[in-house]
Amino acid sequence: MKITIDCRHLDFSGIGVLIRGCLPYFLDSNNFFYLLGPSTKLTPFIDGRNNVEVLDYQRKPFSLNELLFFPQSYLSKINKGDLYYSPYFNIPGGIRVPVYTTIHDIIFPDMPELTSRFGLALRMFFYRRAFAKSKKIFTVSKFSKSRIEHYSQKKVPVVVSYSAIQTWMLERERKIKKNKTIVFVGNIKKHKGLDCLLESFLLARAEGLPHQLIIIGNRDNFRTSDNSVLKKIDSLAPDAVLFSSFISDEKLAEYLSAAALLVQPSLYEGFGLPPLEAMTLGTQALISDIPVFTEIYAGFPVAFFRAGDSKDLKENLVDLLANQEPHTVSLPEHLLTKYTFQKVSSNILQGMV
């Protein structure tokens, strides 16, 4: 088969992880691929392969240019192929072959407070367009499947293919000395629950918890509806909270490996990779009890707290960390290999045949 894959989200977080993780397995299959995206970023994936051609296209997804002025030279090649796969819910105009998409979550209509009315209307246009044009939709959890089916009114098949741990993390050395740090990984949007974590951390520090909180992100981009939280952080010792700014994957792995605990206080996720990454690297995880986490992490050695409850989160922080040496997690083989990109890519390829 000739398959076109939209690779313009390589640098994104969850979507980029999916593309980077699946591409090597896709390209190892007995198919020919057109990879749509910037050639400079795709070169590492195609060296030495003769079953791939890069369609060097750098226009942004979800743009008028993509919808109305997609290059005819590329459309000619794509439409002579067999199918088009988008790892998100954007589809260029003019695609005539069967389209398959991955929709990671349906957060904006579920949490409309995250965007403006215009922003929600625009996103719903692209969601509905993906529902109408997709022959099949893949998603990363049963929870997301239920939400997609709710909004699509079950007019298109939705298949769960999950997400996965990056291969290099599985192969990384885990023997790193633990320190007294708590790590949060995620953006600064409301659904990530950072406000709840900050309130809990301040309460725990007031009770003598000596740990440092490391927020993987840039303080300059930090936003909260309660500016008093930032004032409380500033009133603490200078090293109580650290914003990491932009860091490499290797540096992220170092933070996760050395931490005493990862906390993921999300109010909404499609999958939620950081707890899996932390445990793979030997660090215990404390996570909110939202439905998708109870689904994805069933059987994993995680601790749950009530989502959005800062007092319950504080009590769990103190119970897990106060007057205790950091605990090292060692996942059994069946959990280490439960979510792999070999499985994800195989499920997607088989689902498109």
Instruction: Name all domains of the chain by residue range, CATH numbers in brackets.
Output: 2-166+339-352 (3.40.50.2000), 167-336 (3.40.50.2000)
Query: Is pLDDT above 50 for 58?
Result: yes
Tens-place pLDDT, residues 225-247: 445 556 666 767 778 888 887 78
Tens-place pLDDT, residues 107-152: 999 999 999 999 999 999 999 999 999 999 999 999 999 999 999 9
Reduced DSSP (H G I as helix, E B as strand, rest coil) percent helix, strand, coil of the chain, to 5? 45, 15, 40
**CA 39 → CA 35, 43, 198, 268, 332, distances in Å?**
9, 6, 41, 34, 39
Tens-place pLDDT, residues 250-285: 889 999 999 999 999 999 999 999 999 999 999 999
With contact defined as beta carbons under 8 Å apart, do 11 and 80 qualify? Answer: no
**CA 211 → CA 57, 254, 278, 343, distances in Å?**
46, 17, 17, 38
Q: Which secondary structure element, helix H or strand E, spans residue 213, and what is its range?
A: strand 212-216
CA distance 170 to 218: 27
The predicted pLDDT at position 4 comes to 98
CA distance 3 to 9: 17
The predicted pLDDT at position 219 comes to 60
Residue 122's SS3 state is: helix
Query: Is pLDDT above 80 for 249?
Result: yes
